[in-house]
Amino acid sequence: MGRLVDRVAIVTGASRGIGRAIAETYAAEGAIVVGIARDASAGEAAMADIVASGGLATFLQGDVADESRADAIVAEVLRRHGRIDILVNNAAVQHEAKLLEQTVADFHRVVNVNLLGPFLFSRAVLPAMIEQGGGAIVNLSSVLGLVGDPYLPVYCATKAALLGLTRSTAIAYAADGIRVNAICPGDVDTELNAQYFASQPEPALFRARIEREYPTGRIARVEEVAKVAVFLASDDASFVTGTQVIVDGGILARIYDV
């Protein structure tokens, strides 16, 4: 028996990367997955692959920063399934440039997806979770919510803010049986990270240099983050709320390479 059997889970940014891995792993653990993404073709293909592997998954298209669409998605999931047990706020974007090269438009795009999106979806699912007596929200933050990166100032700011949202929501609704936690991955082998590497003058050399910084000698695989997301959504984490789990291969534990 899986750890998430018959639980209804919404996963944003489910068409690729960590979000897709979480959707796949949740389905393998018995969850009924509803994947959300802006790219309808990629999202539908990702959920179809889960179904082909024997899992239960459907896709709903939407921009996480669109208030009316977020509310409509949650209403549709409740209409179809009658409950929402898990929300994973994973959708994220970034813009690689130092602060002087960032525009107000860049700022709003990153904040809208990375922070407004989790706010809107969390707010939308809370009434149902309160009524049914509990639920779990998993927010994908980052080690960059704990430290800085000169080329990702707004991304870092949103990931730090998401930790604040996690803690505040957790303590506000703990008495309702709702647990809220965050995951802080280090570098993960995803398209988003490949985009960051590609923004550097010599992407392959830059990636190799980054990997050397990790005590493990490599960056994470998406499934390594997904397994933590399963734990946080499951009964195994029944007394875990208002905190973050760092999944970084030990990089924050070192001050510099000697």
pLDDT at 142: 98
Annotation says 214 is catalytic: no
pLDDT single digits (tens) 48-70? 999 999 999 999 999 999 999 99
Full domain range(s) for residue 57: 8-186+222-247
Structural domain contains residue 156 = yes
CA dihedral 11, 70, 188, 106 (to 10 degrees): 170
Q: Can you give the CATH number for the domain in which 15 is found?
A: 3.40.50.720
Q: Strands 32-37, 56-61: parallel, antiparallel or unpaired by DSSP?
A: parallel
Structural domain contains residue 242 = yes
209 burial (CB, 10 Å; 0-12 / 13-18 / 19+) is exposed
CA atoms of 140 and 173, how far apart (whole Å): 19
The pTM score is 0.96
Structural domain contains residue 212 = no
Work out the mean pLDDT of the chain and round it to a whole number.
96
Give the mean model confidence (pLDDT) for residues 79-103.
97
Q: In terms of pLDDT, which residue wins out, 256 or 83? A: 83
The number of domains in the chain is 1
- 1 pLDDT band, cuts 50/70/90, is confident
Structural domain contains residue 80 = yes
76 burial (CB, 10 Å; 0-12 / 13-18 / 19+) is middle
pLDDT at 192: 81
Percentage of the residues of the chain whose pLDDT score is greater than 90: 93
Structural domain contains residue 196 = no
pLDDT at 193: 86
pLDDT single digits (tens) 71-80? 999 999 999 9
Structure tokens at 163: 């930790």
Active-site annotation holder among 26, 151, 155, 173 = 155
Structural domain contains residue 203 = no
Structural domain contains residue 252 = no
Percentage of the residues of the chain whose pLDDT score is greater than 70: 100
- 196 pLDDT band, cuts 50/70/90, is confident
Give the DSSP H/E element, type plus range, for residue 207.
helix 203-213
Structural domain contains residue 211 = no
